[in-house]
Structure 1
Amino acid sequence: MLFNAARTAGKILSLTVLLVSTSLAQAQSQILSVTAYPAVDEIIKAAMPQWKKTHPNVEIKLVSRAFEDHHTAMTTALSTSSNLPDVMALEFAYVGRFGAGGGLEDLSQSPYRIKDTQMRFVPFAFRQATLSTGAVVAAPTDIGPGTLLYRTDLLKKAGVSEAELTQSWDSFVASGVKIKATTGAYLMAHARDIKDILIRSNVKPGDGLYFDAAGKVVVDSSRFVRAFELARRVRQQQLDGKISGWSTAWSQGFKNGNIATQMSGAWLAGQMASWIAPTTKGLWRASQLPEKAWGAWGGTFYAIPKAAKNKALAWEFIQFMTLNRDAQLSAFKVQDAFPALLEAHTDPFYDQPIEFLGGQKARLLWREAALKINAIDVNKLDPIADEIVNTELDKVLDQGKDIPKALADAKALLERRARR
């Protein structure tokens, strides 16, 4: 009987220890919620094992949605202050809009103090997340240095050299005439592409794409006039296929050799190789943009909503993803996410030839571009301005609308939106 009592007491003690241990483990474990989109979600998944080494009791709950669905969901979450993650990934085009809405933490303030590490980031990328108030609403993790991808077989058949193609925008268009005449291929998918890079060229420090440092609308400036004129010239000479990016016709044009060039971020070369046009391996090369027009396409940032539950842990995660050289290089090697961290710009990987580009060491070109791109200020109305300008460009290209009139109308409409 004494034995049974001792055994019962032992069981109770063991159960108590188990319950206490379980309770402590639960108390110590935490869940960090992160939302992202392809291929940022894959980058985060790949980084989880390394993160777990220093945060063994933190479970990352990753929610991934398609690109547009993700940003729509985050727009709704911020406006309602519900269903918000601890960390949200944002594409550059959404940073200014979300930041100006007041729903994101200012990372320049304590306890974050991101400006203490500002010099470790590519200058233009850090500036992209900085509002006119000085608030820094997100941390850059990858960037899209602008590049020109071109088909060597089409250029060779047309007797056009890379130097001729890229010397100036005028020579770029003239090369397109030769290419079309001898190969039947379009110079570019859509005339809008040339507008997109030209409005990003020669932006004054402190200015944005559509607004100057004082908030004045500048869509009727010489930048936009030249961009519209060149786009119109491309269309008038039938050098573009009127093909929208990311459409089936767009990817098919690359596969079939119907499109000779594409201006985009450096990341496009990796996507061309992996799924857009892998059968064209070896036919493409990369160069700097014509006329050394340093520009950027896209880029990924991490932000913390003001209503997030685990802000301290969220900031640790963001620092791990953006200030960890190994994590940055891993994302670059696996997903072609060009590092925003300068420390990750010195690695033998940059000197390696890229098979899809015929063995070209194109990462060296992209690294050079990354350091020469001007910082462009962001504005919450940038997405709306982009829609307005594109609508007016379509009227110029498709309806023959006068360029000064089109830009004046765009300016007037944008000024009305800014006054609301």
Structure 2
Amino acid sequence: MKQTAAFALATALLLGTAHAQEKVTLTVAAFPSLDSAIKAILPAWTKLHPNVTINLQAQQFADHHNAMTTALATSQGLPDVMAIEIGYVGKFAEGQGLENLNSAPYNAAQYKKLFTPFTIAQATGPDGRFIAMPTDIGPGTFFYRKDVLDKAGVNPLTMQSSWENYIASGKKIKQKTGAYLVNTAASVYNLIIRTNLKAGEGIYFDKQNNLLVGPDNARFVRAMTLAKQVRDAGLDAKIGEWSNEWYDAFKKGTVATQFSGAWLQGALQNWMAPDTKGLWRVQNLPEKGFASWGGSFYGIPSKAKNKQWAWEFIKFMTLNQQSQITAFEDNGAFPALIAAQKDKAFSEPVEFLGGQKARVLWRDAAAKTQPIDVNKYDSVADQILQTELTNVLEQGKDIKQALADARAQIARRAR
């Protein structure tokens, strides 16, 4: 806390002296709900740096990342600060379009120990370049509707104990209440392939860039097998995430459980389903699984015009404890900064979750989540496997054949 305050003071004095008369417009490109967090800290930033105006450019999630991909490829329309979601970090790291924050004048290596360990690995490319500073993380969480489970006579701890018990409980829930177990069977697959990986191992590739996907990999076989069991039993609503049907399911209680990051609580509370206050609870993932589910970062394009101020802004958003807490209070963005996680707010009950002290659970889960290596072909592998999973779920394709075909396609693309 004292170090953070001293750091902020030193920064203010240094920049205030050097740039007292300089007027700067700093362009920051972001997506919801990161844009909300930025707006929430703007008064504090403006008070510290009245000469630096933040030009916030916010687009919807996919539009933002598509625009940033094009900007990096063409060097046109580049912001000074670029927000990046974890799913795109590996892709952006493969090029040279973002600054290596390990290098001078950033020297970010000195700050890495201040963050939840697994998030540093997420922003480090295969070549060791550190391309973005983490601002929030998504400890994987098992959300469930307490009212639906109570009506069905299902104990949530039984659902948590094993995937087999999760599916068996889903059958009981469907029979007793009519509610589906989960929005889509793909959620089960997506979770299993990401949980309990070895430290430093990637989802699809190992440290030596060897492809892990294939019919002999028990993790992928089990993930597809259990997802197919969910689909064959009629337990998933076949609803995609971020759709109007998904939001309606939350509001109406027609889906009993949801796997997501801790950030979903803020989204449910603030705009997805605010009227369901008190009906939700959370617990750790099945079979004592721990996984990262989302996370946001800030990077600096190599051809940005205001790199010095961009770095000061990023440090203000990521290293400043109060900024991290402000974002957390604004929209539930779980801080990547360890010191912020120790704030008293994390021990307070969450009214939306029926007074449950969920943040303590999330903090512990984050500490137990292992660092996972990212690979520039992760997005390619994910896209191919999602197609093969669809073939398994909807066309009855043999699982081992699907994984063999996926392996061949990924190997060909990665070559």
Q: TM-score, normalised by structure 1?
A: 0.92
Cα distance in 1 between the residues matched to 2:135 and 2:142:
23
1:240 aligns with 2:236: yes
Aligned positions of 1:302-317 closer than 5 A: 302-317=298-313
Q: Conserved in 2, the CA contact under 8 Å of 1:177 and 1:239?
A: yes
Cα distance in 1 between the residues matched to 2:373 and 2:363:
21
1:82 aligns with 2:76: yes
Q: Conserved in 1, the CA contact under 8 Å of 2:136 and 2:335?
A: yes
CA shift, 1:75, in A, is 0.7
Q: Conserved in 2, the CA contact under 8 Å of 1:34 and 1:60?
A: yes
CA shift, 1:371, in A, is 0.7
Corresponding residue for residue 94 of structure 2: 100
Corresponding residue for residue 362 of structure 1: 358
Structure of greater Rg: 1
Cα distance in 2 between the residues matched to 1:309 and 1:75:
18
Aligned positions of 1:198-347 closer than 5 A: 198-220=192-214, 221-347=217-343
Corresponding residue for residue 109 of structure 1: 103
TM-aligned CA distance change 1:232 to 1:321, over 3 Å = same
Corresponding residue for residue 387 of structure 2: 391
1:156 aligns with 2:157: no
Corresponding residue for residue 168 of structure 1: 162
Aligned residues: 396
Q: Residue type matched to 1:361 in 2?
A: K
Cα distance in 2 between the residues matched to 1:327 and 1:25:
23
Q: How big is the alpha-carbon RMSD for the aligned residues of Structure 1 and Structure 2?
A: 1.4
Corresponding residue for residue 177 of structure 1: 171
Q: Conserved in 2, the CA contact under 8 Å of 1:281 and 1:355?
A: yes
CA shift, 1:115, in A, is 1.1
CA shift, 1:205, in A, is 2.2
Cα distance in 1 between the residues matched to 2:110 and 2:300:
18
Aligned with 1:131: secondary structure?
A: coil
Cα distance in 2 between the residues matched to 1:240 and 1:346:
38
Q: Conserved in 2, the CA contact under 8 Å of 1:35 and 1:64?
A: yes
Corresponding residue for residue 11 of structure 1: none
Aligned with 1:302: secondary structure?
A: strand
CA shift, 1:202, in A, is 2.4
Aligned with 2:228: secondary structure?
A: helix
Q: Residue type matched to 2:249 in 1?
A: G
CA shift, 1:26, in A, is 10
Q: 1:363-395, CA deviations, whole angstroms, 9 ceiling, x for partnerless residues?
A: 111111111111111112212211111110011
CA shift, 1:236, in A, is 1.1
Corresponding residue for residue 14 of structure 2: none
CA shift, 1:44, in A, is 1.2
Counterpart pick for 1:129 among 110, 113, 123? 123
Identity between Structure 1 and Structure 2 (%): 54
Aligned with 1:190: secondary structure?
A: coil
Q: Conserved in 2, the CA contact under 8 Å of 1:142 and 1:339?
A: yes
Aligned positions of 1:40-51 closer than 5 A: 40-51=34-45
Q: Residue type matched to 1:143 in 2?
A: I
Cα distance in 2 between the residues matched to 1:33 and 1:122:
28
CA shift, 1:126, in A, is 1.1
Q: Conserved in 1, the CA contact under 8 Å of 2:36 and 2:330?
A: no
Q: Conserved in 2, the CA contact under 8 Å of 1:146 and 1:289?
A: yes
Aligned with 1:204: secondary structure?
A: coil
Q: Conserved in 1, the CA contact under 8 Å of 2:148 and 2:256?
A: yes
Corresponding residue for residue 28 of structure 2: 34
Cα distance in 2 between the residues matched to 1:63 and 1:99:
22
Q: Conserved in 1, the CA contact under 8 Å of 2:21 and 2:51?
A: no
Q: Residue type matched to 1:75 in 2?
A: T
Q: 1:38-81, CA deviations, whole angstroms, 9 ceiling, x for partnerless residues?
A: 11112112212211233221111111111111111111110001
Q: 1:188-222, CA deviations, whole angstroms, 9 ceiling, x for partnerless residues?
A: 01000011110001222222111111111112221
Cα distance in 2 between the residues matched to 1:278 and 1:118:
36
Show structure 2 runs of 5+ residues with no match: 1-17
Q: Conserved in 2, the CA contact under 8 Å of 1:201 and 1:223?
A: no
1:382 aligns with 2:378: yes
1:406 aligns with 2:412: no
